[in-house]
A = this chain, B = another copy of it.
Amino acid sequence: MTTHPSDNTVLISEVGPRDGLQSLKATMPTADKLRWIDALHSAGVREIEVASFVPARLLPQMADAADVVRHALTLPGLVVMALVPNRRGAEAALLAGVHKLTVPVSASAAHSLANVRQTREGMVEEVRAISNLRRDMAPHVRLEAGISTAFGCTLQGDVPEDEVIWLAAQCIEAGADESGLSDTVGYANPAQVRRLFRRLRAEIGDKAGAAHMHNTRGLGLANCLAAFDEGVRTFDSSLGGLGGCPCAPGASGNVVTEDLVFMFEAMGVRTGIDMHKLMAARAPLLAGLPGEPIYGMTPEAGLPKGFSQETQHA
């Protein structure tokens, strides 16, 4: 979190341009990405994970990462974030000039080995190396460690809570400025979300970071509400629910930004995002990905009669 949100303000961190696009077969043309990011920014989104710095042969969707970052840096007030899996990616992202790095660190031993061929301890050392690199190259850049599979894993099932909290603390010790928890596969429930974020805050205090929830089993917003109740004030989501490994047709992965913003705004919690402009940002997304299914109940149903963001905050 680059801001210090009060109790009545949350930061919506849009992950669509990275997490969303990365999981698709199609590659969105760079010009469309930029129009989409512009539309998000114009709606009031103030943190966007715009790219992933990984070898282009592995993820051709992210081959234009440096160009996308360069454009995003021109948008006033925007925190430009990139995912980096290792120090090589971090170096490229820092050279491109990002404001914030996020490193995924899997709490599931099985998932870590399968996904990045690293033990969890190995990933903590990667975080340390990235932190040192950041100190030397661009000390103002923030570093987040996102603890993935924090609520369960499709490979090993349960992930012990002690190991999740231990890993987050290790990442902070290794130099990360904040550590959030990700429900990578949509296994989380609200009781677990409350328990884990409470433990996380007890362990690392205000270095406790974002809630990255998935809607795979329909519990995405309920889990965000549970995290909000525990003091979490940064939430990852993606426009149209793009990405996040949907398991089945009709099953969105990432929490839908439109529905999440609607929930908070209707509650009187400020996001800084204009609902109408946010829904309008679906057009450039769809233009860049013709035929791709996108999700969102609020866009389909429309806003309630008489809904006004001014009224909600009065």
- A: which residues have CB within 8 A of B? 152-158, 185-187, 189-192, 215-219, 221-222, 224-226, 229, 247-251, 256, 259, 262-263, 266-269, 295-298, 300-302, 304-306
Contact = CB atoms under 8 A, between A and B. Distances in A.
A297 B215 contact: yes
A192 B221 CA distance: 15
A248 B157 contact: no
Contacts of A219: 221, 259, 262-263, 266
A218 B249 contact: no
Most buried by B among A225, A229, A256, A296: A225
Contact of A247 (B152, B222, B302): B302
B263 A305 contact: no
A235 B245 CA distance: 30
A292 to B, nearest CB: 15
A263 B220 CA distance: 11
Contacts of A262: 217-219
Given A190-B225, A191-B269, A222-B222, 11 more contacts: A152-B305, A155-B305, A157-B304, A158-B306, A191-B268, A217-B298, A218-B256, A218-B297, A222-B224, A225-B225, A225-B226
A256 B222 CA distance: 14
A198 B249 CA distance: 39
Contacts of A267: 189-192
Contact of A217 (B157, B222, B229, B297): B297
Contacts of A192: 266-267
A298 B250 CA distance: 11
A266 B189 contact: yes
How many subunits of this chain does the assembly comprise?
2
A103 B102 CA distance: 53
A156 B186 CA distance: 37
Contacts of A191: 266-269
26 contacts: A153-B305, A155-B305, A156-B305, A157-B306, A158-B306, A185-B304, A189-B263, A191-B266, A216-B301, A217-B259, A217-B298, A218-B263, A219-B221, A219-B262, A221-B221, A221-B222, A222-B224, A222-B225, A225-B225, A229-B229, A248-B301, A250-B250, A250-B295, A250-B297, A250-B300, A251-B297
B186 A301 contact: yes
A269 B190 CA distance: 11
